[in-house]
Chain A
Amino acid sequence: MNGPRMTGNGTNKDMLVATGDTVGGEGHRLRGGWGRGGWAATPRPVRWLVYLALIALAMLLPLQPIGSFMTPRSDWATVLFYPIGVYILLAIGLNVVVGQAGLLDLGYVAFFAIGGYMMAVLGTKVGWRFWEILAVGILASAVSGLILGAPTLRLRGDYLAIVTLGFGEIVRITAQNIDAIGGPRGIAGIPHPPSLSDFEIFGVKPFHYGVLDPRPYYYLLVVLIALTIIFCKRLENSRVGRAWAAIREDEDAAELMGVPTFRFKLAAFAIGASIGGATGVVWSAKVISIIPNNFPFILSATILAAVVLGGSGNIPGVMLGAFLVAWLPERFRVLQDYRVLAFGAVLVLMMALRPEGILPSRRRKAEFAEGAGGMGSLGAEVGSATSEASS
């Protein structure tokens, strides 16, 4: 049958690779996964110690000396929250959809918007508080992911991309046209999260959510990011993650092997959506005023760029991608104007030279090299100058 060309010995080995990655841990010889041999070989407690150290490091980031180096002309702590932190969390969410399940979503900003408006509307008009809204927001975004996905996920990859783009714009324009949720004025006066305690350490009150200090919000975001990473990693190593890998590499084969592809694609969409929505809720609670134009298509494209450039499918990769995409234009004002120009050029170049991204997972690298990993290969039908006989 026509399909992406598979190097090697046919289906068996690829399916094995699909499972091998997940068996991680004490020196299982199957390769797959980035740095798995060395990293996975370290005993669990050590790995957890490193994770905790990383989190502690993240907490320490908003220090003035670091700030004067990283963003000398704007407030480092604010920038750490947005765009850096928010982009990172959004990228992890989009990674589930694009990187894990291989579905191209060009309207991811819609879920960010839904979360943001949930916080705004429920906070100002209904009077709920942040933590309840967060729970509801996650649920509502997941549902919207299901609503968007149900009719569209049967479409081929490129059509899915356009439909999601259309959906993103529909959400934005609708928000602009409906006066009940503020119309073009948006919603202002969104309440901050209620302060958990006035406990103070090193001159900071990390649980006091006021206006002047962006750091408590940043800490909240770090916790959220950590939880999301744990969640996504667990998913990746579970049956769900394996199914996504199979779908990503060759959907038809997966279907034939008995994987209920539609259901898992829907799950990916819903999970990605809920992460986007959660981010929206937290961001909205900090900035306290939102307008429809906060959610343009270019933000979807930016997060996609972050995921793709960083290394889709690999969480450290997309985090790095998001960090670069968020921080570089802030740091180098010259880049600010040419930011999108640079994005575009880098996207084209990367796809030509290194489509797996800066920090890819080993498996994704292999997939891209084979021309698999999402929707088959370009011009598979028309072939290339050195076209081998297809299987």
Chain B
Amino acid sequence: MLHDFVDQFWPSTVDGISLGSIYALVALGYTMVYGVLRLINFAHSEVFMLGTVAVVYTVTEIGVSSPLSGISLIAMLVLLAVVGMVASAGTAVTLEYVAYRPLRKRGASRLAALISAIGASLFLQQLAALVIIPRLFHKPKEGGRLPVQSPNWVERKDVISIGDFVVRNDKLLIVVSAVLMMIALDQFVNRTKLGRGIRATAQDPETSVLMGVNIDRIVTATFLIGGAMAGVAAALYVMRFEETNFFVGFLLGIKAFTAAVLGGIGNLRGALVGGIVLGLIEMYGSALFGSEWQHVVAFSVLVLVLMFRPTGILGESLQQARV
């Protein structure tokens, strides 16, 4: 156990940061929606999943003659990121419109909203398994639950190799992309008018309304941006694993939500910190206790954080007297 941990410290670290970056991007969606609406968007996991389906489909349709690396890999990744963003953001906005907006307009209870979110999540999952995947990839209905692979389009090479510390090109790309998107988002939220609106709404909704902020637009924008981030994560995921399935969102969604909470819900930088920390904890935990405990480790982190430090690492006060 300990021997494994020490032995695989560097590979675990590299893999943890790389995995955590994907968590971080998806976590952004959870954290933003929660910051503005105080709602856990249960169906965000399916926003991610549908992004991966779109990306796999695109790669399959475009086809590659041989695996890419270097500039062409990056170019392809950018293209796929755009595809992912469109698919995921589209799903997210539709989701808001169909499942949450009617409830918000009626002032429905949060319990109802959460249940609607769960229903939407189940619906989208099954839709992918029963309709979308079979149609897009020409499978019979029963085959919808099986994984779909994209053609092999990534040529994997080690870019850094110092003893045990080996970094492969795809893992490096994931981390770099996540950080870049985070910086972009940070700039957007801090510098643009819309970004200010989002921050204001998350901080003090009533005053924002009084100051003339159009809440509906803010909510839509929040879902759109969160979805877009998940779309980028989807492209990175497909680059790393070259496959997807209808159920991929469930586990990853819970992990990403854990990351959001770990870093401090409602806190954008917290999502990045939380994601990476969670990725590392999972990898170290697997090395220490055995891979079968990987998910239990992640779930336990969730439970423990919520119990003992619900404000997360970077903190964001939940104790506000808002219901």
Given contacts A373-B109, A382-B215, contact A340 B122 (CB under 8 A): yes
Across the interface, which residues of B come within 8 angstroms of A348, CB to CB? 98-99, 116, 119-120, 123
Across the interface, which residues of B come within 8 angstroms of A156, CB to CB? 318
Across the interface, which residues of A come within 8 angstroms of B108, CB to CB? 351, 355, 368, 371, 377-378
A window 133-179: CB within 8 A of B: 151-152, 155-159, 161-163, 165-167, 169-170, 173-174, 176-177
Residue of A nearest to B294 (CB): A173
> Per-residue CB proximity of B88-129 to A under 8 Å, as 1/0?
000000000011101111111111111110111111111100
Given contacts A341-B127, A379-B37, contact A5 B119 (CB under 8 A): no
Across the interface, which residues of A come within 8 angstroms of B300, CB to CB? 166, 170
Residue of B nearest to A98 (CB): B111
**Interface check B62, CB cutoff 8 A:** no
Across the interface, which residues of A come within 8 angstroms of B104, CB to CB? 378-379, 382, 384
Question: In terms of DSSP, what is the predominant structure of the interface of chain A?
Answer: helix
A window 318-370: CB within 8 A of B: 337-338, 340-341, 343-348, 350-352, 355, 367-368
Given contacts A169-B299, A348-B99, A375-B323, contact A341 B123 (CB under 8 A): yes
**Interface check B85, CB cutoff 8 A:** no
What distance in Å separates the Cβ of B199 from its nearest Cβ neighbour in chain A? 13
Judge whether A170 and B296 touch: CB under 8 Å: yes
**Interface check B201, CB cutoff 8 A:** yes
Judge whether B126 and A374 touch: CB under 8 Å: no
Across the interface, which residues of A come within 8 angstroms of B258, CB to CB? 166
Judge whether B122 and A162 touch: CB under 8 Å: no
Residue of B nearest to A151 (CB): B307
Given contacts A338-B126, A344-B119, contact A371 B111 (CB under 8 A): no
**Interface check A304, CB cutoff 8 A:** yes
**Interface check B302, CB cutoff 8 A:** yes
Could you say which of B100, B111, B120, B201 contacts A157, with CB atoms under 8 Å apart?
Answer: B111
Residue of B nearest to A380 (CB): B323
Given contacts A166-B299, A177-B293, contact A384 B105 (CB under 8 A): yes
**Interface check B306, CB cutoff 8 A:** yes
**Interface check B303, CB cutoff 8 A:** yes
**Interface check A317, CB cutoff 8 A:** no
A40 to B112, CA, bound (A): 29
Judge whether B322 and A343 touch: CB under 8 Å: no
**Interface check A120, CB cutoff 8 A:** no
A window 298-314: CB within 8 A of B: 301, 304-305, 308
**Interface check B141, CB cutoff 8 A:** yes
Q: Report the interface size for chain B: residues with CB under 8 A from the other chain.
A: 64
Q: A5, A174, A381: which has the most chain B beta carbons within 10 Å?
A: A381
Residue of B nearest to A379 (CB): B104
Judge whether B306 and A385 touch: CB under 8 Å: no
What distance in Å separates the Cβ of B31 from its nearest Cβ neighbour in chain A? 13
Could you say which of B98, B106, B215, B293 contacts A371, with CB atoms under 8 Å apart?
Answer: B106
**Interface check B40, CB cutoff 8 A:** yes
Judge whether B323 and A158 touch: CB under 8 Å: no
**Interface check A372, CB cutoff 8 A:** yes
Could you say which of B119, B124, B310 contacts A155, with CB atoms under 8 Å apart?
Answer: B310
A383 to B219, CA, bound (A): 11
Across the interface, which residues of A come within 8 angstroms of B113, CB to CB? 351, 378
Residue of B nearest to A384 (CB): B105
What distance in Å separates the Cβ of A332 from its nearest Cβ neighbour in chain B? 16
What distance in Å separates the Cβ of A292 from its nearest Cβ neighbour in chain B? 12
Judge whether A382 and B36 touch: CB under 8 Å: yes
Across the interface, which residues of A come within 8 angstroms of B122, CB to CB? 301, 340-341, 343-344, 347
A378 to B101, CA, bound (A): 10
Across the interface, which residues of A come within 8 angstroms of B86, CB to CB? none
> Per-residue CB proximity of B279-323 to A under 8 Å, as 1/0?
000000000000011011001101100110010000000100111
Judge whether A383 and B215 touch: CB under 8 Å: yes
Judge whether B302 and A382 touch: CB under 8 Å: no
**Interface check A102, CB cutoff 8 A:** yes
**Interface check B181, CB cutoff 8 A:** no
Across the interface, which residues of B come within 8 angstroms of A165, CB to CB? 254
Q: B38, B111, B125: which has the most chain A beta carbons within 10 Å?
A: B111
**Interface check B209, CB cutoff 8 A:** yes
Across the interface, which residues of A come within 8 angstroms of B208, CB to CB? 382
Across the interface, which residues of B come within 8 angstroms of A169, CB to CB? 254, 295, 299
Across the interface, which residues of A come within 8 angstroms of B115, CB to CB? 104, 304, 308, 347, 351, 355
What distance in Å separates the Cβ of B29 from its nearest Cβ neighbour in chain A? 15
Could you say which of A152, A301, A340, A341 contacts B306, with CB atoms under 8 Å apart?
Answer: A152
A35 to B287, CA, bound (A): 60
**Interface check B173, CB cutoff 8 A:** no
**Interface check A2, CB cutoff 8 A:** yes
Judge whether A158 and B114 touch: CB under 8 Å: yes
Judge whether B110 and A343 touch: CB under 8 Å: no
A102 to B321, CA, bound (A): 19
What distance in Å separates the Cβ of B110 from its nearest Cβ neighbour in chain A? 4
Judge whether B105 and A163 touch: CB under 8 Å: no
Judge whether A378 and B37 touch: CB under 8 Å: yes
Across the interface, which residues of B come within 8 angstroms of A382, CB to CB? 36-37, 104, 201, 205, 208-209, 215, 218-219
A346 to B123, CA, bound (A): 9
Across the interface, which residues of B come within 8 angstroms of A390, CB to CB? 206
Judge whether A345 and B323 touch: CB under 8 Å: no
Across the interface, which residues of B come within 8 angstroms of A386, CB to CB? 105
**Interface check B257, CB cutoff 8 A:** yes
Across the interface, which residues of A come within 8 angstroms of B218, CB to CB? 382
A252 to B110, CA, bound (A): 16
**Interface check A387, CB cutoff 8 A:** yes
A376 to B114, CA, bound (A): 12
Ordered by A's residue number, 18 sampled pairs between the chains whose C-beta atoms are within 8 Å are A5-B107, A102-B111, A152-B306, A156-B318, A157-B111, A162-B302, A166-B300, A170-B303, A338-B130, A341-B123, A344-B120, A344-B122, A347-B116, A352-B102, A372-B109, A377-B110, A378-B100, A378-B103
Closest 4 CB pairs of A and B: A347-B119, A344-B123, A376-B323, A344-B122
Extra A-B contacts (6), CB below 8 Å, given A161-B114, A378-B104, A384-B104:
A157-B111, A304-B115, A338-B130, A351-B119, A374-B110, A385-B105
Q: Give A contacts to B, CB under 8 Å.
A: 1-5, 102, 104, 106, 151-152, 155-159, 161-163, 165-167, 169-170, 173-174, 176-177, 252, 297, 301, 304-305, 308, 337-338, 340-341, 343-348, 350-352, 355, 367-368, 371-387, 390
